[in-house]
Chain A
């Protein structure tokens, strides 16, 4: 019978309210702050190149794509996306997929230009804590099957 009492003590003390604990890991730290945003353009050799813009904040995916569409500015890089006025970008972020609605027709963009859009969007998504394996769907104004493609950025793997 002597053996019973320790059991009783454990039971009585064992489940009494919320007890203090040590420091416990609770997951990845949040992210999203940045000195600026990274846009992707094309160099003279038709290669995608990142260009950092110091904006003092990361901003959203549509803001970054809007900046991309706005143009390369003073640089030895160029863009392969046709210039459009008053671009209005819509971005929907779902699980594993970012849907971008761009005010462009497919003919206004070269394949490299599509990569520029995909890489810029994915870069912001990753920097704000998203997964690098997220795919990007670029939906153009005129209906085309290119709108359904789920794309990845060749520079962000």
Chain B
């Protein structure tokens, strides 16, 4: 069966099969009953015809001269009816019109069998019954010997055939009657079978779309119900493991947030007393002074690290919020550099005035981080350029150093990623670029890292000018 002849849809296939089977069943039943009825009809007609001929012969023979002369044969023929031929040795009765139909097989059977025989033939489109019989001589003791008289009769079966045809047509009609209810039943059956399939499909779709709570209620106890149960179990275990994973993730984030939070109180004390220590350090002996200095430096590092950790926790928890203000981007960048005393180390190119609604503190964080990195790890000159198109504002920070190695590029925004394993101590927390990227994204913008064609690392911050929620 080619795909063209055989529909692909499950519903159509199911319906068509059902209709086909039903109609074929009805047709088979109708045809077979019509067949047996017509067989019975033909048989009974044949029997009636043969019995009538045998009876007519039997009624005539006792008065028939034997051995018969031509007149006797004609008399017997007349008694049996039209379309009859009676022969005795070389004698033949007057021919009936259709006796030419008598076959050689029938002749032979009549001559050899001593029995009454029949044969159906079709001639010129009409069915005929050929009846042939010898007449036997029975002795008083019952011994039967051939008499040499043979009777052949031809009978028209057209009437029977018409009846048989009527039966066939009524059988076809019966089968055709089964068609509409079969179609109806097929549609109903297809619907009842396909409904769970459709539900299952919808459930699978929802699962694929991320709705892990999607289930379909299993109905009945068939294969489809088993499939439904299996899908449900699959969804269940998926949901369970996803929930466990999310819980673990949330736990880990909360832990980081909690740790940072808890660290803050002792750090507050340390921060408070470090200045006291610093002023006192001037009068200490060298070792103690160096120790105090280290304690102060490391405390400040620790404060910075904890603050960055808390910032990252806020991004992870989704609680980071923008505080938008209208600022002039060039000024904001300049202020950032000036506040850190970097203005004389950095070339700032901000030729035009670009007003933009953004969170100034977060922009400061990004710029300070990028420029700080460029000053620490890259080489001079460090250049910052601010430009704008209709859609976005672009802040580019480049340096004159060796640039970022290819294998480092994909990882620069990862947390605690250290490009050089040997460089253990850096003033940063290792979270700076990650936080810068998160801040850019919070603005609906992006931050990318690359290398300038002339060498040197180049970071590009893009901020959209029109924000839906700005």
Interface residues of A (CB under 8 A from B): 1-2, 4, 7-8, 11-12, 14-35, 38, 50, 56-60, 122-124, 126-129, 132, 156
Contacts and interface: CB of A to CB of B under 8 A. Distances in A.
Contacts of B137: 31, 33-35, 127
Given A7-B28, A27-B116, A59 B140 contact: no
Contacts of A26: 46-47, 50, 115-118, 131
B65 interface: yes
B351 interface: no
B118 A33 contact: no
Interface of B: 1, 6, 17, 20, 24, 27-28, 31-32, 34-35, 38, 42, 46-47, 50-51, 54, 57-58, 60-68, 103, 105-106, 109, 113-122, 127, 131, 133-142, 144, 147, 149, 151, 157, 160-161, 164-165, 167-168, 171
A2 to B, nearest CB: 7
Contact of B134 (A14, A29, A132): A29
B118 A23 contact: yes
A15 B136 CA distance: 37
Chain A binding surface, main DSSP class: loop
Give the most central of A7, A32, A58, A122: most B CB within 10 Å. Answer: A32
B135 A33 contact: yes
A94 B160 CA distance: 33
Nearest to B148: A33
B138 A23 contact: no
B116 A30 contact: yes
Given A32-B62, A56-B65, A126 B140 contact: yes
Given A22-B119, A25-B117, A35-B66, A15 B34 contact: yes
Nearest to B109: A23
A29 B115 contact: yes
A54 to B, nearest CB: 10
A33 B64 contact: yes
Interface centre among B35, B106, B147 (most CB of A within 10 A): B147
A59 B64 CA distance: 8
Nearest to B54: A30
A23 B108 CA distance: 10
A102 B50 CA distance: 36
Contact of B144 (A16, A18, A31, A38): A31
Nearest to A30: B57
Given A19-B120, A20-B120, A24-B119, A32 B161 contact: no
B38 A2 contact: no
Contacts of B67: 35, 56
B64 A50 contact: no
Contacts of A19: 120, 122
Given A17-B127, A18-B127, A25 B64 contact: no
Given A31-B58, A31-B147, 9 more contacts: A18-B42, A23-B103, A26-B46, A27-B116, A29-B114, A31-B61, A31-B144, A32-B62, A33-B66
A126 B135 contact: no
